[in-house]
A = this chain, B = another copy of it.
Amino acid sequence: MSGVPAAGSSVQAYLHELRDAVDEALEGLLPGLGAPPVLDAALRHALLGGGKRLRPCLTLATAECVGARLGLDSARARTLAMPCACAVEMIHSYSLVHDDLPAMDDDALRRGRPTTHVVYGDGLAILAGDGLLTEAFRVIAAAPSPTAPPGSERSDAERRLRAMAVLATAAGAAGMVGGQAIDLDAAGRVTGRNAPALDRAGLEDMHARKTGALIRAAVVMGAVVSGADEMLIAAVDDYARDLGLAFQIVDDVLDVEGSNAALGKTVGKDAAAGKPTYPSLYGLEVSRRLAVECVDRARATVAAAGLGGRLADIAAWSLARRS
């Protein structure tokens, strides 16, 4: 596993290092977008407002782990994966901006700061989200073309096209946007509809689309651009499915137990809105056990694929987090 930091250094420190690299890359992208000043300000507010940067860190960590197995050094894997890492965070950020709008979840607080529409108005918030979504694809399509990594029969352009298809499928009508539509419908917010409440299967389908799909895409893109074959891609996709579910359950649990200050967003809102959550359906104790089972499966999957180490550590960390 040359190129991946020794397992002794803490996963938290590793994730902070990746987060700082992502923050620097995102900040570096904005001046080149050519946005008029009024839009630039809103894009900065939406994109640079802090946050864990979970998804892009997963892209980079996966690229480093897969790259190490294929003889790619860590710095090179990170360079190859950074456009995809930035893109997935831009798409996550746009989804928060649109989701917080009065026409959607109507949230005033995000990452400890006023939401984009509170600062700039709904119209510019919609446009800032549209801009981030569009630029996410430009970042991958227009990135300087590096020479192909070893161990891959696909050209760099073919790998980037595949990554973009993975990202668009996860973020689009079958994935994140579809999940948000189901969520909105279940909350009775679609004109002319009278949708029934979600049952357990419906809740799981909604979460798989709304948050799970993008986490899986983050991980799969990291593998694709590092030259993973189909078996490795399938393994990290399985890992990411379990990891994403664990994150969702822990989020729901923290929404019951946590504080506004630690989470940087309004707490208890889902429960107040009558939305079904894992704790409301299964209770806190069973929810916690379900999360542990997901993480155990995720760790076993990457170990079996020869990709343990950092990815396994990240799965374990996801259970212990408090925000």
Residues of chain A whose beta carbon lies under 8 Å from any beta carbon of chain B:
33-36, 38-40, 42-43, 94, 98, 101, 103-104, 119-124, 126-127, 129-131, 133-135, 137-138, 141-142, 155, 157-158, 160-162, 164-165, 168-169, 171-174, 177-178, 180-182, 184-185, 189-193, 195, 209
Contacts and interface: CB of A to CB of B under 8 A. Distances in A.
Given A161-B141, A165-B141, A134 B182 contact: no
A182 B126 contact: no
A189 B131 contact: no
A135 B39 contact: no
Contact of A173 (B34, B122, B185, B191): B34
A195 to B, nearest CB: 7
A152 to B, nearest CB: 13
B142 A36 contact: no
A259 to B, nearest CB: 29
Contacts of A189: 121, 123-124
A191 to B, nearest CB: 4
B39 A173 contact: yes
B120 A178 contact: no
Contact of A104 (B126, B137, B141, B177): B126
B181 A36 contact: yes
